Amino acid sequence: MSSATAIAIEHLPDAPRLDPNVGDTLFQKVGIVTAVAGAALLVGWVIDDTPGKRQFYYSYLWGYMWALSVALGALFWNLIHHVTAAGWSVGIRRIFENIHRALPVLAVLFIPIAIGIGTIYKWSHADDLKNGKQIWLSPAFFLIRIAIYFSVWILYSNLMRKWSLQCDATDDLEERKKIQRKMEFYAPSGVLLLALTATFAVFDLVMSLNYHWFSTIFGVIFWADSIRGSLVSCVLIVLALHSAGYLKHTITREHFHDMGKLMFGFTVFWTYVSFSQYFLYWYGNIPEETKFYWDRRAGSWYLMSILLPICFFGVPFLILLPRGNKRNPKVIGFVAAWVLAFQMFHLYWEIMPEGLKANVHDRPSAGFSPHWLDAASIVMFGGVMIGSVLYGFRNHSLIPIRDVRLGESIHHEVDEFGDPA
């Protein structure tokens, strides 16, 4: 093993663990905020006077889908790290592991959505389902599929994290290499299954809100959202650790540069797949296909529809174009926060117009009208995600301290042309 790869724990450039007092204090504070937001949601469910408590369920679904997308995106980054046997990303891998460890919690938090199927999904009591949709869109089969999706996600999440921690716990180099090969062997199947299950999950959870509308690329758009959302979340977590004095010499400007390039790439990818869907539906001009966009031209939803490509594509695209901006922590931190906010915005734009319909044939009668339950939902699920990361940092190292490629990550450099040195 080369000197660029091998590195002893005592020679790590930064403290590999979070101070216990700091970790406990932060975890408790996040727990309190999350509990308060959860209590507010419960109160909202009790006092909600909309038909079927519609406002509560759609606000909850919005926050839930945002948290789920970030967790699934983090699982993708963890798996693709092992598929490619990457070295530069070892230093940030533990952050993704801690993000996607929220999946078991999200499985439990699916219960309110299961209870609210009759309100959220019009197909659950529709009498005009045709061409096999009556079989696919049945509450029982819907819940069975959700259980299958979470089983796959949690299985790969737990396996990758378990083996990563096992690698940390052994001094035997050959044993660590064996564990690494095991992760690299199982990761490709994980990527394939994750792609399939996440695609069908967003079909079930979001696209079926209007069961007469369909899009074969809808899952890819969700994928682009999830991958970019988890990446910018990782950037923000690294910046928070840096501000607290951690990992400054382990995760450097070189890593920010690479993460910035990936942020730029997936910004273009999201725009490509989103515009492809819009252009094909506009050109075809078939009512069943254009209805999704037609609904989002009503009232102030139209303004949101105009802002979305400008803010979710134009702003990050232009800022991330210069090489220097991708190496500037302040600039890339701003872009990361901006993208994460507009990922929430995008999901809101996809979900909420459906919640304002009396039935599937109606156009939304009102425009963008935020509710305090929306804020409570996003704060609670944001707390769940942050709490998951902090819980992982409290109990284990911030980085995979005995990964066989950790030295390669620490010494990672990008030359003037943007390629690994």
**Lowest-pLDDT range of 3-17, 239-253, 282-296:** 3-17
> What per-residue confidence (pLDDT) applies to 297?
87
> What per-residue confidence (pLDDT) applies to 2?
41
> What per-residue confidence (pLDDT) applies to 163?
96
Mean pLDDT of 251-259: 95
Report the distance separating Cα 150 and Cα 135, nearest Å. 21
Q: In 10 A of CB 350, how many CB atoms? A: 22
Evaluate the CA torsion angle 65, 67, 72, 77 in order and state its sign.
positive
Average pLDDT along the chain: 91
> What per-residue confidence (pLDDT) applies to 4?
45
Beta carbons of 401 and 12 less than 8 angstroms apart: yes
Q: Looking at 50-132, list the stretches that DSSP marks H as alpha helix, in order from N- to C-terminal side.
A: 54-83, 90-100, 103-108, 111-115, 117-120
Mean pLDDT of 38-57: 93
In eight-state DSSP terms, residue 404 is T
CA dihedral 111, 114, 116, 120 (to 10 degrees): 120
Mean pLDDT of 51-72: 96
Q: What are phi and psi of 414, to 5 degrees?
A: -115, 130
Q: Looking at 244-285, list the stretches that DSSP marks H as alpha helix, in order from N- to C-terminal side.
A: 253-284
The full length of the chain comes to 421
Q: What are phi and psi of 32, to 5 degrees?
A: -65, -45
User: Pick the residue with more confidence: 249 or 417?
Assistant: 249
Report the distance separating Cα 284 and Cα 290, nearest Å. 9
Who's near 170: CB < 8 A, 6+ residues apart? 176, 179, 402
Q: Structure tokens of 144?
A: 């069975």
Evaluate the CA torsion angle 2, 4, 8, 11 in order and state its sign.
positive
pLDDT, one tens digit per residue, over 184-240 is: 999 999 999 999 999 999 999 999 999 889 899 999 999 999 999 999 999 999 999
Q: Where are the domains of the chain?
A: 28-384
Q: In 10 A of CB 340, how many CB atoms? A: 21
Beta carbons of 65 and 228 less than 8 angstroms apart: no
Beta carbons of 12 and 379 less than 8 angstroms apart: no
Helix (H/G/I), strand (E/B), else coil: 1 = coil
Report the distance separating Cα 268 and Cα 2, nearest Å. 37
Beta carbons of 308 and 345 less than 8 angstroms apart: yes
pLDDT of 11 higher than 90? no
Helix (H/G/I), strand (E/B), else coil: 38 = helix
Please state, in angstroms and as integers, the Cα–Cα distance from residue 26 to each residue in 21, 65, 93, 132, following that order: 9, 25, 21, 50
The one-letter amino acid at 156: Y
> What per-residue confidence (pLDDT) applies to 360?
43
Q: In 10 A of CB 306, how many CB atoms? A: 11
pLDDT, one tens digit per residue, over 105-152 is: 999 999 999 999 999 999 998 887 877 788 899 999 999 999 999 999
Q: What is the pTM of this model?
A: 0.93
Q: What are phi and psi of 374, to 5 degrees?
A: -60, -45
pLDDT of 361 higher than 70? no
Mean pLDDT of 376-384: 98
> What per-residue confidence (pLDDT) applies to 34?
97
In eight-state DSSP terms, residue 363 is P
Beta carbons of 102 and 71 less than 8 angstroms apart: yes
**Lowest-pLDDT range of 227-231, 319-323, 354-358, 415-419:** 415-419
Q: Structure tokens of 218?
A: 């809808």
Q: How far is CA 197 from the centre of its chain?
A: 15
